[in-house]
């Protein structure tokens, strides 16, 4: 198997599949239940993540999507069961908000040793019809495990986090990570981002599992991000075009 992906065990039936060599440092998560497995996001799409997933489980796999940005849906075409939030369904049917050329530019922003099988000229943004749409509060059942859908718009209109209450896991997508939190482009909404942080702040979270960058991330970062948004809001800066603000562990770009 290609060494593009790294796999780490979170616990006996949860894995993180990462693309550490790329500047985006993406993380997808494989959760194995007693009946099905769920793959949260499918990565950049420069290498087939399904081969890695098939190596880890023989269960039927459903792909659930934190949001439909290109770096989270890259290998969706390799799976036959895809779930997304309805607000981003059209992005998969000819209305993706970024031109392919811009996506390719982002993909190759920093020097990177891509897999030998990858050819930039063949790269496509996933388009297709999802098998399932999920909404706020929906429960995704894996048999003995349950994931709660938490609609957390702001970074994108249909962004969702997935919360596994029993283990205290929050799969936080692009809402929470150690890096630059983006709410500066047209399809973002800084006020909604702030409200979404407030929404997850009340959950009993033992572990944050982000979609990018450092995996060592303390749940207390949520309070810090909340306070940062609050201070920007208090200064009437929580609107697009305000700029880039640094808070040590994370930045907010609005
Ligand atoms: Zn994103
Ligand atoms: Zn992302």
Q: What is the pLDDT of residue 104?
A: 96
How many whole angstroms from 222 Cα to the centroid of ligand 1? 18
Reading the chain (254 residues) residue by residue, the pLDDT tens digits are 679 999 999 999 999 999 999 999 999 999 999 999 999 999 999 999 999 999 999 999 999 999 999 999 999 999 999 999 999 999 999 899 999 999 999 999 999 999 999 999 999 999 999 999 999 999 999 999 999 999 999 999 999 999 999 999 999 999 999 999 999 989 999 999 999 999 999 999 999 999 999 999 999 999 999 999 999 999 999 999 999 999 989 999 99
How many whole angstroms from 34 Cα to the centroid of ligand 1? 30
- The 3-class SS string of the chain reads CCCCCEEEEEECCEEEEEECCCCCCEEEEEEECCCCEEEECCCCCCCCHHHHHHHHCCCCEEEECCCCCHHHCCCHHHCCCEEECHHHHHHHCCCCCCCHHHHHHHHCCCCCCCCCCCCHHHCCCCCCCCCEECCCCCEEECCCCEEEEEECCCCCCCCEEEEECCCCEEEEECCCCCCEEECCCCCCCHHHHHHHHHHHHCCCCCEEEECECCCCCCCCHHHHHHHHHHHHHHCCCCCCCCCEEECCCCEEEC
Q: What is the pLDDT of residue 35?
A: 98
Cα distance between residue 209 and residue 12, in whole Å: 16
pTM recorded for the entire structure: 0.96
How many whole angstroms from 249 Cα to the centroid of ligand 2? 17
How many whole angstroms from 60 Cα to the centroid of ligand 2? 25
* Nearest ligand to the C-alpha atom of residue 19: 2
Which of 179, 229, 178, 236 has the alpha carbon at shortest distance from 199?
A: 229
- Name the phi and psi angles at 57, rounded to 5: -150, 150
Q: What is the pLDDT of residue 1?
A: 60
Is 66 within 8 Å of 41 (Cβ atoms)?
A: yes
């Amino acid at each position: 198997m290609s060494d593009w992906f790294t796999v780490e065990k979170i616990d006996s039936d949860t894995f993180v599949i990462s693309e550490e060599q790329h500047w985006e440092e993406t993380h997808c998560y494989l959760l194995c239940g007693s009946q099905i497995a769920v793959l949260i996001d499918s990565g950049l799409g420069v290498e087939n993540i399904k081969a890695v997933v098939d190596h880890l489980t023989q269960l039927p796999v459903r792909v659930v999507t934190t949001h439909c940005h290109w770096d989270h849906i890259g290998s969706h075409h390799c799976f036959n069961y895809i779930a997304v939030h309805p607000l981003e369904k059209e992005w998969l049917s000819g209305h993706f908000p970024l031109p392919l050329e811009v996506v390719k530019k982002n993909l190759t922003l920093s020097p990177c040793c891509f897999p030998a099988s990858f050819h930039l000229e063949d790269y496509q943004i996933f388009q297709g019809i999802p098998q399932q749409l999920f909404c706020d509060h929906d429960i995704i059942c894996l048999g003995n495990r349950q994931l709660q859908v938490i609609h957390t718009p702001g970074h994108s209109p249909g962004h969702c986090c997935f919360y596994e209450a029993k283990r205290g896991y929050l799969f936080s997508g692009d809402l929470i990570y150690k890096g630059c939190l983006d709410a500066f482009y047209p399809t973002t909404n800084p006020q909604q981002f702030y409200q979404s942080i407030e929404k997850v702040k009340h959950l009993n979270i033992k572990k944050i599992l982000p979609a990018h960058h450092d995996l060592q991330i303390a749940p207390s970062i949520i309070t810090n991000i909340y306070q940062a948004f609050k201070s920007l809001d208090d200064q009437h800066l929580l609107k697009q075009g305000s700029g880039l603000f640094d808070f040590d562990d994370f930045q907010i770009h609005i």
